[in-house]
Homo-oligomer: A and B are copies of this chain.
């Protein structure tokens, strides 16, 4: 197997040193590098200051084979990464008319802002002889070059652009450096905590060396990454297959998918396959489920719409929940969740309707403890209701309630064949 590369990440931006921005780029890039089998020994953060950036680059050159910078590629006079790196490595900056043209087009067609201001042209200068990383998610292009055995890669600072450019440009560049393939699958789990998953899998995890198995938590879900090193993707796949199978056997149906982008996408794909439609009636989640379903492009093939019935009046006016029921049982009750789902299913004419009603907090209702949420699924065959009770803070209560609702739709659709 090949050389062991060692990388250093230099993040540039005074906002990072002021603490107004958290350095997620360094964590994201590190995770990608770790998947590639590239060691990272240092992260360095410097401000928008060419002398201190140059000093950090000089240091990094002496101890890393790969230097990855994030930030400082934009159009403002603070953005000095390219100039500093080019000068550190003795390269001129060259103007690329085709980049300038594509920026003008971006301003005209994408932003619709008419004329681009002059300062944007700074972004069309790149170090001589570099590989251009085109930016389809913003205006600042990135780049890569090699000088004296050190590879320099520059990525933009906005996390969306940094991540997208890493995946589509930096990843292929770095893969070419190594003849070893690292390949991984991610199993996605909902409804069980990380420590419970770890307890169930500890024995298996300890017995493995290649592939490795690592759980991590994100957005109220748990991911399990299974990673193999091999000479080719096919060989890696052969190592991965028995392990993912074994994990699925141990964990059962809390695993909602492998290498899927999100729970909502898993629900969407399943409903599309089963030719079923979905709608929502949300109180405490306030549109979060609808928002997540419509994050998916082409959502309309499955998702017909939703009602955010935050006030009691709207629960009655739009969904037909009897006012008396709300008065008797309270808006946060199994009965109201049930009627909300039934009402939504009728109004939107969908096969499945999800509803949520609960106390995200911090205020309570005098009947239920904060963190109580009722989640219902209305189907042709009847209504299912689940009660959640986890006082984990407003944002997280809403997130877990949305996850629980989407998971109910997934589990139901999995066992049902449309008649």
Contact = CB atoms under 8 A, between A and B. Distances in A.
Interface in A356-376: 360-363, 371
B297 A394 contact: yes
Between A42, A293, A294, A348, the greatest number of chain B beta carbons within 10 A of the residue's beta carbon is seen for A294
A177 interface: no
Contact of A287 (B44, B308, B314): B308
Nearest to A47: B41
A111 B286 contact: no
Contacts of A113: 193, 196
A44 B46 contact: no
Of the candidates A215, A289, A348, the one having the most CB atoms from chain B within 10 angstroms of its own CB is A348
B308 A313 contact: no
A23 B317 CA distance: 47
Contacts of A280: 287, 308
Contact of A307 (B286, B305, B313, B360): B305
A274 interface: no
Nearest to A192: B113
Interface residues of chain A: helix, strand, loop or mixed (majority) = mixed
Contact of A18 (B30, B285, B291, B392): B30
Interface residues of A, number: 110
Interface string A16-43: 1111111110111111111000001111
Contact of A286 (B186, B291, B317): B291
A233 to B, nearest CB: 17
A390 B111 contact: yes
Interface string A307-339: 111110110011000000000000000000000
B305 A119 contact: no
A381 to B, nearest CB: 23
B307 A308 contact: yes
A309 B305 contact: yes
A129 interface: no
A297 B361 contact: yes
A11 B20 CA distance: 17
Contact of A314 (B42, B297, B347): B347
A257 interface: no
Contacts of A310: 290, 294, 299-300, 303-306
A216 B306 contact: no
A298 B34 CA distance: 43
Contacts of A23: 22-23, 26-27, 43
A30 B47 CA distance: 12
Given A216-B21, A310-B300, A392-B110, A41 B30 contact: no
B288 A291 contact: yes
A110 B394 CA distance: 12
A78 B216 CA distance: 10
A23 to B, nearest CB: 6
B26 A24 contact: no
A135 to B, nearest CB: 12
Contacts of A412: none
A97 B382 CA distance: 48
A394 B170 CA distance: 23
A91 to B, nearest CB: 25
Contacts of A21: 27, 216, 218
A345 interface: no
A28 B17 CA distance: 10
Contact of A306 (B28, B45, B307, B392): B307
Given A111-B390, A290-B308, 16 more contacts: A18-B30, A23-B26, A75-B194, A75-B195, A78-B214, A109-B391, A112-B390, A280-B308, A287-B291, A290-B291, A297-B363, A304-B313, A305-B309, A317-B348, A317-B349, A318-B348
